[in-house]
A = this chain, B = another copy of it.
Amino acid sequence: MPERTPEELVTFPKATISRFPLYFRALTEYNHQNIGLVSSEEMAQKVGVTPSQLRKDLSYFGSLGIRGAGYDVAYLLAKIKEILGMDRQRRLGIIGAGRMGMALAGYSGFKQHGLEVLALFDIDRAKWGPVNEQLTVFPLSELAAQREKLGLEIAVLTVPKAEAQKVAELAVEAGFRALWNFAPVRLEVPPEVIVQYEDIVVGVLTLSHHLARKFGT
């Protein structure tokens, strides 16, 4: 019987993971500038966190730096890729080839993060067909087949909010275990499915609130 993996069970704040993309981008820049070693102070300054927060964040994943010297840029970059699951390509399928779906499909920033949009799906037949050399909009009925064929792992939901629950269920049926939902609704899905919500108005309403508070307008 294969022994159960010991499952290194470190727990860490949820916010820690959300800071890793910042660290990743800073390190990528250092790498481009041929900087091989960087201190927590320098890097923290660049991304706008405290040095101790940066060190603590990294420490949850082991002893990744060199005492007395700093962090090896290339090594830390590799480690962060591993932690974020960027050490292998993640393939995305976008459901809903409307304004938001198409904007995401054309986003050039995904590539450097190991993310790749390989297909779009829509219910509207007018949208079916190739978008460019690499990308095609498929009928929704192709969801399961293309997921399998292209190795899609993450379903991006950019359909109208009234459709989101139904489409989420179709995605789960088609074998997706990770959903990235842009529609402003809470989804009911089986417990093994991970849902990440992207609520775009939160940011701008936070601004609006600050304007109301600070400037009284």
Contact = CB atoms under 8 A, between A and B. Distances in A.
A212 B178 CA distance: 11
Interface residues of A, number: 58
Contacts of A90: 204, 208, 211
A1 interface: no
Contacts of A86: 205, 208
B109 A209 contact: no
Given A153-B211, A211-B194, A184 B99 contact: no
B85 A209 contact: yes
Nearest to A194: B210
A153 B92 CA distance: 35
Interface in A47-97: 47-48, 82-86, 88, 90, 92
A166 interface: no
A205 B103 contact: no
A68 to B, nearest CB: 28
B208 A85 contact: yes
A152 interface: no
Interface of A: 17-18, 20-22, 25, 46-48, 82-86, 88, 90, 92, 99-100, 102-103, 106-107, 109-110, 113-115, 153-154, 156, 177-178, 180, 184, 186, 194, 196-215, 217
